[in-house]
Structure 1
Amino acid sequence: MNRLVCVVGPTATGKSDLGLDLAEALGGEVVNADAMQLYRGMDIGTAKLPVAGRRGIPHHQLDVLEVTEAASVAAYQRAARAVVEQLLATGRTPVLVGGSGLYVQAVVDELEFPGTDPAIRGRWEAELATVGAPALHQRLAEVDPAAAQHVLPSNGRRIVRALEVVELTGRPFRATLPGQRTPRYDAVLVGVDRDTAELDRRVERRVELMMAAGLVEETRVLLDRGLREGRTASRALGYQQVVAALDGSGELAAAAEETVRATRRFVRRQRSWFRRDPRIHWLDGADPELSVRARRLVA
């Protein structure tokens, strides 16, 4: 019987190619789980596979948002699960591929994402602007001490969201966060990682290739389409650094160097997230038998 297959791990380890190999071998289709690949036009900076490189395999949850729209894990969860369940129902194998940990878990596990109330959020945002993040963090500590321990006193956006959820649901914010993993599907999770020094080199090379391929020009086009106004898209690695250079010093070489540093930090956060999940079967992305080993795991 077909089942959900997930290919996860840090950036630049080789997930996309392995996802294609598995989809091809299993008669499956790829479901994107990279938050920034949801955006139209963000191609070079997200290492999005071009259509010609997809081997004729259908890809889902790519190019579904404009850069001015905010990405929502809850909306992604609904859309991605609908694709997964439709593929399973028709005998196709969904291959979920990506390095956005919460997006992967939102599909694989039973996670709840409370909605939002503009009036409640607006009220807390106004209070944040008036009293500042540390004072608002004290309010959070009063109503939800456990949440306050996990939200930095400087993270105003997260504090506002926590207070909104508490008021909206009447339950602690921590109750709605990823914790105990309750699987939704019979899934097999394949993790791809590499030696840290090698991965650092691959990240540097990837950024070099992105700059050579036209990341700056792509960013300029996206700025014309409203990239600065996009709450989520404007924070994407590479684009964020190029925009800062275009708006300031114009030092694009420095922007590339900062992108390398930021991506390496991001890789370590991804590794930390995924390594906490004991269900993931880890493989070495440098192994020439990677695809064969992954197929055996799935089988």
Structure 2
Amino acid sequence: MSEAAQPAVIAIVGPTASGKSALALRVAQAMEAEIVGTDSMQAYRGMNIGTAKPNETDQRLVRHHMIDVWPVDQAVSVVEFRDRARQAIDDVRGRGATALVVGGSGLYVRAVLEKLDFPGTDADVRARWEARLSEVGAPALHDELHAIDPDAAQAIERNNGRRIVRALEVIELTGEPFVAHLPVPEDVYPVHRFGVHMDRDRLDSRIEDRVNVMWNDGFVDEVRRLEASGFRDAPTAAAALGYGPVLDFLAGECSEEQARQRTIDDTRKFARRQQRWFLRDERIEWNNHDDAGFVDAIVACAARL
């Protein structure tokens, strides 16, 4: 199928726990569509409960891409993720179906959908920042990043040492803020963006409910199994929300209740950063999460594009 005849891409974005995945599933069932996730942690095998990975039933209902792609001990860059996700989008569109790109990370959504070239790397500069990471830990290094580039700090989880180091490396190499170094948006595909809006109190409540469900579903046991296979030393995957606090609990460094509460608090802070990132993007068409006409609006938009 020629590029001109291929369906446009639909993006569904918003903070964690806002209902993006459930919405995307309903949209995909209402039209000939497949879901391409941009949650980098769902692409790791075995990280199911903590990442709210689509279950087997949902994956049978609608074809999902970028799920269970890599082992947890593999370091995966944004560029590697971008290239694999674009392959999935190209495959979906090439078969005449609509690709629903779903995610809460503004950087990963932009990397997949836009012409976003990343600066090169310098081994010495990176080694210096990695040494600093080992010395002070990810949260303290995140504070240092925030002092230099608050916008970059908003886009990166406090426990994701690898991405914090990368941002600091880019800032040192370019002499510019990490986020400011990103180019003016230019889409790779014809795309329309929808955002899921939810007020803060409701979102906070849903985050707490989600974490409680994670615990009831066996999240601690999931992390225990991953730890037995070397997960604690995983360069990227171990930085996922919730996994660090549980690893601390398993190491006897905090109580299980403290780990659960830290997961709630960290997730709420991350959701704030997600909201601030997406609200800067004027291309996003926002709808309330409980808007009864949301699915129909997306389907109608896809039909027009």
TM-score, with length taken from structure 1: 0.83
Q: 2:100 maps to what in 1?
A: 95
Aligned CA-pair RMSD:
3.3
Q: CA contact under 8 A between 2:8 and 2:190: conserved in structure 1?
A: yes
Change (3 A) 1:172 1:250: closer
* 1:38-57 → structure 2 map (5 Å cutoff): 38-57=43-62
Change (3 A) 1:52 1:178: same
* 1:118-157 → structure 2 map (5 Å cutoff): 118=123, 121-122=126-127, 125=130
1:191 is paired with a residue whose SS is: strand
Does 1:66 pair with 2:38? no
Deviations 1:268-291 (A, max 9, x none): 000011111111111111223332
Does 1:212 pair with 2:216? yes
Q: 1:31 maps to what in 2?
A: 36
- Give the Cα–Cα distance (whole angstroms) in 2 for the partners of residues 252 and 117 of structure 1: 40
1:96 is paired with a residue whose SS is: strand
Deviations 1:79-135 (A, max 9, x none): 1111112222221111111111111100111100234454663466569989xxxxx
- Give the Cα–Cα distance (whole angstroms) in 2 for the partners of residues 257 and 227 of structure 1: 22
Of residues 50-59 and 270-279 in structure 1, the stretch that sits farther from structure 2 once superposed is 50-59
Change (3 A) 1:204 1:120: closer
CA deviation after TM superposition for structure 1 residue 215, in Å: 0.2
Of residues 220-229 and 230-239 in structure 1, the stretch that sits farther from structure 2 once superposed is 230-239
Deviations 1:64-89 (A, max 9, x none): 12221223110011111111122222
Q: CA contact under 8 A between 1:238 and 1:259: conserved in structure 2?
A: yes
Deviations 1:17-53 (A, max 9, x none): 1111222223121111111111111100111111212
Name the count of aligned residue pairs: 285
Change (3 A) 1:232 1:90: same
Structure 2 unaligned segments of length 5 or more: list them.
Answer: 136-146, 154-159
- Give the Cα–Cα distance (whole angstroms) in 2 for the partners of residues 205 and 166 of structure 1: 38
Q: 2:14 maps to what in 1?
A: 9
Change (3 A) 1:118 1:186: same
Does 1:85 pair with 2:85? no
Change (3 A) 1:177 1:23: farther
- Give the Cα–Cα distance (whole angstroms) in 2 for the partners of residues 160 and 203 of structure 1: 28
Q: Which has the larger radius of gyration?
A: 1
Q: 1:193 maps to what in 2?
A: 197
Change (3 A) 1:240 1:298: same
Instruction: Tell me the amino acid that sits aligned with residue 82 of structure 1.
Output: Q
TM-score, with length taken from structure 2: 0.81
Change (3 A) 1:61 1:156: closer
Q: 1:108 maps to what in 2?
A: 113
Change (3 A) 1:297 1:176: same
- Give the Cα–Cα distance (whole angstroms) in 1 for the partners of residues 77 and 60 of structure 2: 29
CA deviation after TM superposition for structure 1 residue 164, in Å: 5.4
2:41 is paired with a residue whose SS is: helix
Change (3 A) 1:123 1:77: same
1:37 is paired with a residue whose SS is: coil
Q: 1:262 maps to what in 2?
A: 266
- Give the Cα–Cα distance (whole angstroms) in 2 for the partners of residues 84 and 258 of structure 1: 36
Give the counterpart of 1:239 among 224, 239, 243: 243
- Give the Cα–Cα distance (whole angstroms) in 2 for the partners of residues 206 and 159 of structure 1: 26
* 1:161-176 → structure 2 map (5 Å cutoff): 161=166, 174=178
Q: 1:203 maps to what in 2?
A: 207
Q: CA contact under 8 A between 1:67 and 1:225: conserved in structure 2?
A: no
Change (3 A) 1:184 1:8: same
Structure 1 unaligned segments of length 5 or more: list them.
Answer: 131-146
Instruction: Tell me the amino acid that sits aligned with residue 268 of structure 1.
Output: R
Instruction: Tell me the amino acid that sits aligned with residue 195 of structure 1.
Output: D
Of residues 43-52 and 175-184 in structure 1, the stretch that sits farther from structure 2 once superposed is 175-184
**How much identity, in percent, do the aligned residues show?**
43
